[in-house]
C-alpha cells in the first residue's frame, strides 16, 4: 500500500475528512518548557486543531537567565546587512516569541503551514473570554516532568522584560485582578455546592422512590 502512489496521494484527504477535532483547545503555558510545548502544539495545528496559548510569560526555558539573554543578543544581531528594516524581525513580547517559535515548526512558507499558523492564538495573561473557559496542560512538556532537578531555568516573561518588552507590570497587575475575581467566584461556587448537598441530604427520604424510578429508567 505504501508503494501505491495513488493511495499515498489520496490518503491525507481521507484522513483529514474523517478526523474528529475538538473546539479550540486553551492551554495554560505556566511552567511548561518552551520548545517541548511548541513542538506538540505545532503537530496539533498541522492536524487541523485550533489552539489558544495563555500565560505565555509564565512559560520557562532551560538554562539561566544570563545564558538566554546572551543567546537572544546573538539572535538580535542577525539582520539584513544593507537594509535591516526588511528583517529578520526580533519580537520582544512573550506571546510573539512563542508564536514565532511555532511558526518555524509548521513549514510556514507552504499553504498548509500558513493555514496551520492561522489556527494559533497566543496571549500574555488570560484575557476574556478564556478566563472563563477550561484550560489544559501538556504533561509531556511540563518542567517538573522533563527538566532534571537542579538544572537552571528562567521564565520567558523575565527574559522578554530584559530585552525590551515594556508591559510586564501591566500584565502582572491585570493578572492579580483576574485571580481575585476567580477566587471570589470559586468560593461562591463552593458555598452553593455545599447548600445543594445539604438540601439533597435533608430530602433523601422523600426522594427515595423518585430516585428508584429514575434509576430503573437509566438516569
Which tens digit of pLDDT belongs to each residue from 184-219?
Answer: 999 999 999 999 999 888 888 888 888 888 888 888
pLDDT above 80 for 24: yes
Give dist(CA 45, CA 43) in Å, integer: 5
pLDDT digits (tens, 9 = 90+) for 78-99: 999 999 999 899 999 999 999 9
55 backbone dihedrals φ, ψ, rounded to 5° = 55, 45
Per-residue confidence (pLDDT) for residue 123, from 0 to 100: 97
H or E segment and range at residue 121:
strand 120-122
Q: For 5-20, how does the pLDDT look when each residue is reduced to its tens digit (9 = 90+)?
A: 443 343 344 344 445 6
Q: Which strands form 25-28's sheet, in the order they lie side by side?
A: 25-28, 51-54, 120-122
User: Does the pLDDT value for residue 26 go beyond 50?
Assistant: yes
| C-alpha–C-alpha distance, residues 62 and 150, integer Å | 11
Amino acid at each position: 500500500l505504501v508503494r501505491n502512489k495513488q493511495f499515498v496521494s489520496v490518503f491525507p484527504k481521507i484522513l483529514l475528512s474523517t478526523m474528529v477535532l475538538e473546539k479550540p483547545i486553551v492551554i495554560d503555558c505556566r511552567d511548561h518548557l518552551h520548545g517541548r510545548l511548541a513542538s506538540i502544539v505545532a503537530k496539533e495545528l498541522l492536524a487541523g486543531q485550533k489552539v489558544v496559548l495563555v500565560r505565555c510569560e509564565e512559560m520557562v526555558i532551560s538554562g539561566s537567565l544570563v545564558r538566554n539573554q546572551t543567546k537572544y543578543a546573538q539572535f538580535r544581531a542577525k539582520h539584513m546587512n544593507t537594509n535591516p528594516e526588511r528583517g529578520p524581525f526580533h519580537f520582544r513580547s512573550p506571546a510573539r516569541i512563542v508564536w514565532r517559535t511555532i511558526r518555524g515548526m509548521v513549514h510556514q512558507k507552504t499553504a498548509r503551514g500558513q493555514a496551520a499558523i492561522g489556527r494559533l492564538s497566543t496571549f500574555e495573561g488570560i484575557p476574556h473570554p478564556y478566563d472563563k473557559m477550561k484550560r489544559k496542560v501538556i504533561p509531556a512538556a511540563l518542567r517538573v516532568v522533563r527538566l532534571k532537578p537542579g538544572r537552571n531555568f528562567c521564565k520567558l516573561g523575565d527574559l522578554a522584560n530584559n530585552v525590551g518588552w515594556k508591559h510586564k507590570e501591566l500584565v502582572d497587575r491585570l493578572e492579580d485582578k483576574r485571580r481575585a475575581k476567580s477566587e471570589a467566584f470559586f468560593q461562591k461556587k463552593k458555598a452553593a455546592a455545599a447548600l445543594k448537598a445539604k438540601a439533597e441530604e435533608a430530602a433523601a427520604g422523600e426522594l427515595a422512590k423518585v430516585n428508584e424510578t429514575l434509576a430503573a429508567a437509566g438516569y
